[in-house]
Structure 1
Amino acid sequence: MSNPNWTQALRSSLSAAGVAVESDAAGDAISRWRVASEHWRTLAELALADSVRWSAGWAQQRAAGFVVHVLLEKHGVYLWAQTELGPAKPEVPSQAGVYPAANRSERHTQDMFGIQFVGHPDNRPWTRHKAWDKHQHPLCKDFPVEGRPETVTPPDMDYAFVKSHGAGTYEIPVGPVHAGIIEPGHFRFQAVGELILNLEERLGYVHKGIEKIAEGRDPPGLARLAGRVSGDTTVGHAWAACMAMERAAGVDIPPRAALIRGILAERERVANHLGDIGAICNDVAFTFAQIQFTRLREDWLRTQAAMFGHRLMMDCVVPGGVTSDLSAEQCQAMRVGIVKLRDELADLMTTLDLNSSLEDRLYTAGFLSEDIAAAYGTVGYVGRASGQDFDVRRDAAYPPYDAVGFKVALENQGDIASRFWVRYKEIIASMKLIEQFIDRLAPGALVGEWHIPAAGSRGLGIVDGWRGEIVSFVAFEAGNRIARFYPRDPSQLNWPALEKLVLNNIVPDFPVCNKSVNGSYSGNDL
């Protein structure tokens, strides 16, 4: 591994290219730079040359114009860079031509703020369907939270999908409305026979206005809102938002609260992986496994409802700590549940591993190479199944993970089977982590004293949710109120990978390819 202090080398490269870098006072362990807007693409080019990963991008409006932010990462070391734009004609060079991961993020910022990313390879709208006309930008301060809706919103009929050409090729439109209770998303296939030649996603049908309605909230109100960015990741998103607020306010959470947050997060990971493993099996008609894993997940969720008052543990993470404590009896019951689940999984996984028809559908299907996984910045089980050896809990450890050891699940075959087995290995690791956290629980406070941050205070929260790295940005205004909130769900990085891993698969394998990624529609569309 190269020198983890890669930011110094990048700064030297920028200096040699004539790019000046101004450092902000850190306030936390993340380096903060300011770069002139004309050098924004150069920053990306030199970072990519050193194999730095693009993690997140967002913008905010200030009285004097706009600020565009980017978060970069390598070896668990983060760089938070920003550039300032004037209010009259805000534009900045695009980083999407360097980092494919920046593509949809920049399009979202362009739709919401009107900031132009010069040289962007795809200037189509992303979040903007037909709810606003092209001169309206909902995240600008002068745009009302209720919007300016027309009596009837025009249908979104003119999105410029890639067209199929050539003899024998045809298109298959799927969605945005699907069967069952799946969230809305449109998938446009080009195929020849049953072979998929191209897939294009069109998301953004569940836009909730999260970023807009966050403005003016107090910290507890923002924590509740963050827990609803994506319901299956309520703990992860609430933790990231609270961490961002706590860093902005200079608040340290009590050790017992950190341990309980860890228990909540790992239980969330186990519950979702159990559901996903069963769903993957169901998509290849192995219904027995789906029934068994659904049963195990249900038992796990009922325990959570009994101990934390909510099956998904919603609103348990609050600024400064947690709301729910654990008694000695509850800790013992949790240990018993882990032993039971571990035993049942051992039997079930043996059955699955010996099922040749299951292997035929999962192995080699939905292949995502290490190079493409790296180019798109994939995280969590999607990245780790394609050789991306990164986990925030280990590589940028935060309490309580900084005091325990665990093995990060890693595969490099990049197929559906790899994403299947990474999930299983993460369940095993999570159960061990929960046991370690229980062992370390000592009497103590659940919530630390809150310090009201000064106007302009900002913070980043970065945690490893069950889908992977979650990034939250929070900026405060006067009176302990939120000026800007931006949550980056792991799905924003993983959804584009689905378009690549389905290529040269057959159309009937799309459902299981899709489930092996299981991107959050809601988490992607704020």
Structure 2
Amino acid sequence: MEEGEDTLFGLLARIGRPVPDHRPWPRHVTDRAGWLTLIENLGVADWSLLGLWGEPAAVHAALRAEAAGEVAVISLPCPEGRFPSLSAVRPAAIRLERAACDLFGLTAEGISDDRPWLDHGHWGVRHPLADAPEQGATAVPYPFLKAEGHGLHQIPVGPVHAGIIEPGHFRFTANGETVVRLEERLGYVHKGLEGLMRGKTPTDAARIVARLSGDSTVAHSIAFAQAVEAALGVDIPPRAVWLRALMAELERVANHLGDIGAVCNDAAFSFLLAELGQLRELVLRAADSCFGHRLMMDRVVPGGVALDIAETGPKRLFDLTAELRRRFAPLVAVYDGKASLQDRTLSTGIVTTGLAARFGAGGFVGRASGRGLDARKAPGYAPYIELEFEVPVLTEGDVNARLWIRIREVEQSLSLIDQILRRMPGVPRGPDGITPPPLASMPAGRGGEGMALVESFRGEILTWVRVDADGTIGRCHPRDPSWFQWPLLEAAIEGNIVADFPLCNKSFNCSYSGHDL
């Protein structure tokens, strides 16, 4: 940053006023002029957008200064239901702004795309989370973007797909077999999740968040729990912190193993799908044995964890990591040695480093394109700040790179599981050692706002929460990594052939459910 330019914290202090009881990072409220000043600075600063969400009369944006490690939230009251769009300087804001319009009736001025996003016209109400929702709604045809040129044709795919894939519509414009444009339409599995959490206790709301995206149930539960605990200033027992990390790494390994096999299967190499599917099953069975649930759903709760690891759990997991190391490396060698397989994955579905940075993509999508951020390290949270692990980064940005990032992350997670088992503090077994009472019987008059950044297997989850004085959830916004990755899939497939779309799509493996709220 040039001398005389604002840091992120410096700018927010200059254009806004701080909000008390917002933890662990600051929140400032600004006015329209301050918001426009923010947009000017975003045009030249390296600050990434972490999230954007609405309320009936306000909009909030979470930002990170990556070089300085500063994280903050800025808020703009919108008494007239309007705010200047961030999309010109941060294109990842576009779909979040469209969602804020659908849910709260907030209009983003100057947005480059104002079509409805989550609202398909079937809710029976418009702006359902606004102070005064509009009754009645009409479904109208979605105006897909036009592509004109000689020999172009369109191929509609979905929203209903084969098997158990979640619903999403993909509109291809192609010239022969070459994709000229891909446009997505999502929102088919909108659950009204943000509205469902209002007025719930943190414990009840946690069960809703745990079902936001089932393959990331542990990570989303940790993010929500950390946000609530920050809002209330609650410290959780040390053993619970380590148990959460143990579950998170098991979840990461299971998903990466499944993804690696699925990517290879979409390249017509089903052998690795079968072999890696067996390894994934070993992880899920171990999770069930240790925590009583294959996906470990509802095991992370605000204030701690719901139960301790089974007495036989540590040995079971040490045996698991040893078995995975023994069987995983030869399968990686099979992938690495198959020229016909890599012919499908190398140079396919490229996301450039500049585009990944512009959209703030994280996880294996961002790290395969040179963006090496990992919330476990920066800003960091316990117990990872005490553990040793590397964040793999590549720059090729293709299907092959995204697959290799997964491979290296499996290796790192196996090491983390062993480290956690060896270093986890011991306590008397039973709920008293892992879940303290404050959240179960929280006194009235205690509330606050909290935010968390947690690394899921897909990338960073941001969760922001306001706990009202009566101890219930006043507002909660969980932002899945897929919000910043889905748009990049549209860019990745351009110039590739239609038949490579399943391969590109699986190499991203974005969550439909996690995106659709």
Quote the offset at 1:305 in angstroms. Answer: 1.3
What is the match of residue 485 of structure 1?
476
Distance 1:26 1:215, change over 3 A: closer
The Cα offsets for residues 91-132 of structure 1, whole Å up to 9 and x where unpaired, read as 110001110010000000011111111111111111111124
Would the aligned equivalents of 1:251 and 1:448 in 2 still touch at CA under 8 Å?
A: no
| Aligned mate of 2:382, from 399, 403, 412 | 399
| Aligned mate of 1:448, from 425, 432, 436 | 436
Would the aligned equivalents of 2:42 and 2:89 in 1 still touch at CA under 8 Å?
A: no
What is the match of residue 93 of structure 2?
102
Describe the SS at the equivalent of 1:49.
coil
Describe the SS at the equivalent of 2:242.
helix
What is the match of residue 9 of structure 1?
7
What is the match of residue 124 of structure 1?
115
The Cα offsets for residues 288-333 of structure 1, whole Å up to 9 and x where unpaired, read as 0110011111111111112111110000001111112125531011
What is the match of residue 139 of structure 1?
129
The TM-score normalised by the length of structure 2 is: 0.94
Would the aligned equivalents of 1:476 and 1:483 in 2 still touch at CA under 8 Å?
A: yes
Would the aligned equivalents of 1:251 and 1:449 in 2 still touch at CA under 8 Å?
A: no
Q: Distance in 1 between matches of 2:329 and 2:335?
A: 10
1:17-32 correspondence runs (5 A): 20-25=15-20, 27-32=22-27
Quote the offset at 1:48 in angstroms. Answer: 4.2
Percent identical: 42
- Indicate yes or no: 2:252 matched with 1:259: no
Residue segments in structure 1 that go unaligned for 5+ positions in a row: none
The Cα offsets for residues 340-380 of structure 1, whole Å up to 9 and x where unpaired, read as 00110111111110000111000000000000011111111
Quote the offset at 1:456 in angstroms. Answer: 5.5
| Aligned mate of 1:52, from 47, 51, 56 | 47
Q: Distance in 2 between matches of 1:108 and 1:476?
A: 23
The Cα offsets for residues 17-72 of structure 1, whole Å up to 9 and x where unpaired, read as xx6322233653413222112432431330341211111001123xxxx1211001
Describe the SS at the equivalent of 1:100.
coil
Q: Distance in 1 between matches of 2:357 and 2:6?
A: 22
Distance 1:21 1:141, change over 3 A: closer
What is the match of residue 430 of structure 2?
none
What residue identity is the alignment partner of 1:137? Answer: H
Describe the SS at the equivalent of 1:359.
helix
What is the match of residue 106 of structure 2?
115
- Indicate yes or no: 2:295 matched with 1:312: yes
| Aligned mate of 2:499, from 497, 500, 508 | 508
1:17-416 correspondence runs (5 A): 20-25=15-20, 27-61=22-56, 66-75=57-66, 76-86=69-79, 89-132=80-123, 136-143=126-133, 156-327=139-310, 329-416=312-399
Describe the SS at the equivalent of 2:380.
coil
Q: Distance in 2 between matches of 1:37 and 1:433?
A: 46
Distance 1:149 1:440, change over 3 A: farther
Residue segments in structure 2 that go unaligned for 5+ positions in a row: 428-432
What is the match of residue 471 of structure 1?
462
The Cα offsets for residues 253-307 of structure 1, whole Å up to 9 and x where unpaired, read as 1110000000000100000000100000010110101100111111111111121
The Cα offsets for residues 442-468 of structure 1, whole Å up to 9 and x where unpaired, read as 223201342537465211121111111
Q: Distance in 1 between matches of 2:233 and 2:275?
A: 46
Identify which range, 181-190 or 478-487, moves more after superposition: 478-487
Describe the SS at the equivalent of 1:53.
strand
Would the aligned equivalents of 2:159 and 2:168 in 1 still touch at CA under 8 Å?
A: yes
What is the match of residue 485 of structure 2?
494
Q: Distance in 2 between matches of 1:208 and 1:368?
A: 30
Q: Distance in 1 between matches of 2:375 and 2:513?
A: 22
Would the aligned equivalents of 1:189 and 1:200 in 2 still touch at CA under 8 Å?
A: yes
RMSD: 2.0
Identify which range, 267-276 or 73-82, moves more after superposition: 73-82
Distance 1:21 1:425, change over 3 A: same
Q: Distance in 2 between matches of 1:267 and 1:20?
A: 43
1:423-434 correspondence runs (5 A): 423-434=406-417
Identify which range, 438-447 or 331-340, moves more after superposition: 438-447
What residue identity is the alignment partner of 2:175? Answer: V
Would the aligned equivalents of 2:24 and 2:451 in 1 still touch at CA under 8 Å?
A: no
Q: Distance in 2 between matches of 1:373 and 1:454?
A: 43
Would the aligned equivalents of 2:102 and 2:118 in 1 still touch at CA under 8 Å?
A: yes
